[in-house]
Chains A and B, each alone.
Chain A
Amino acid sequence: MNRSHRRSLTISFLALLITALFLGSGASVARADNGPHGDYTATTDACAGCHRAHTAGAPRLLLDDVPNLCYTCHGSGGNGADTNVVDGIYLERDLDTEDPAEGIAGRGLKGGGFVNALMDTDWDGAATSAPTTSSHLVDGSTGTAWGNGDIGSGPGAAIPLSCTSCHDPHGRASTTGGPTYRLLRAIPVNSGATTGVDVEDEVDKVYTVSDTAQKSGNQYFGEDYGTQGDQLSEWCSQCHTRYLAPGGSGSTDSGDPIFAYRHLTQGSPSCSLCHDVHGGTLPTGGPMFSHDVTCVTCHVAHGTSASMGGYAENVEWPDGATDPSGNNRSSLLRVDNRGTCQLCHGK
């Protein structure tokens, strides 16, 4: 028996096993929209949508092919999904306000976009579609997962990245085989993490940035992630290990030569840090949208069209490199320059 035979046998066996697992896991609550991801029933043809029906061989999915598969539905043509992650736009056209679909038609997706994004990054009240300036690179190429690894382990391990590094297209990706927010894998692939973080699934899915505190409908800052916010901070930090910082980290040396003093990224600070409850002083300046400060308070998960100028465009990378500079240094931020900081600190 040659290698490829063995491989296809193994894979067929795996496929059988997985199907059995899916089907065996019993009655599940039918979720509003997992599309073809998960909730497989005994009569399902759902595997066929991503795996070739007739070829007995391997699923043939190399890492760099994965986005092509996902874009077949989630691409700008929206031929098989309403979440167009290429342009970061929700394509659905139900305008029925009584029973809104999973977001608002033509509104920006929470994750931003991989090629273009429809964001009001300059906070002027109008959103225009613009090419993304930075994004997680999902073409299977290898990049430095900044902060990956223990204290003192350098800028971070280099790992290849694709959609399936973060998402499990088969759903049920929690540590206990339950549903997760946006099919996020409890343990991102190649993160080196071992315990896993479950980001709770939403009951009613909303894919677009919300109306609250927005002038134009596409201002990405001020999104209230509730429970998912803190969980997402922990989740992102399975790859970006040393970015997870509790309150007070800004003035406490972590012991890491690179990530020594870090901004709070985990949960809410104690009230007294900002509100002098007894003396009656109010927080400095700007609107504090949510008391939580998590990764997704400042960053989007996929890509941003924010632009950087002045100081912001020349910030050194954690490994000391300064390239790429300019707008490429937008680091998935939700607002231009350091507007992200202003909106809380109002300096």
Chain B
Amino acid sequence: MNSEELLAKLSECVEFGKVNKNAPFPPAMKGMDGADELTAQALEMGVDPVDILNNALIGAMDKVGEKFSQKKIFVPQMLISAKAMNAAMEHLKPYFQSGQVKRKGKFIIGTVAGDLHDIGKNLVAMIVEGAGWEVIDLGVDVNAAKFMQAIDTNPEAVVGLSALLTTTMASMKNIVAEIKGKYPEVKLIVGGAPVTEAFKTEIGADGYSDDPQGAVSYLNALVA
């Protein structure tokens, strides 16, 4: 295989969720090399890690996010793809540390104070990470102070807030106001089942999306 074919194969592994050779999923790729082996091979072959990330991995996760948005695939396939992506990323770690490969930016995300629903937030975090962003996940029940602490250490980051309870939409509103009061320039994107575009505007946040792919489009537009 030449490097182009290798990257195409790697991209396919991430898109369809083939983590490594031993992984039983997807059945059609049983016994074949997965994202893990193929990334190692590409690096050995001398392929630029930047190309691996941009041409194989991010492109594949873009397709995954799109297919999810169009309801062609479901949460499980998305998670298996994210796992394959992570297997590949393990090999790229040293290049991130050395600065040879850069991420698009930083994304801080958390479920707002008073709420512990995190399934949606976790999906957003995974897809945003797969799209080439460094994700700082603050977990659940996160208050304004905790968000601002993270912003203090990562002033260039974009911040995502998730709320699933109608009662914690009020908490989201307060946190947005507090963050904007102290860091007017920080971009805030909000989401979660009860949150709407109108609510985003009402509370003075900058972005809203009802799915992870929308979050990625918003973030990518900021650095385009």
**Are A and B part of the same complex?**
no
- Chain B residues within CB distance 8 Å of chain A: none
- Chain A residues within CB distance 8 Å of chain B: none
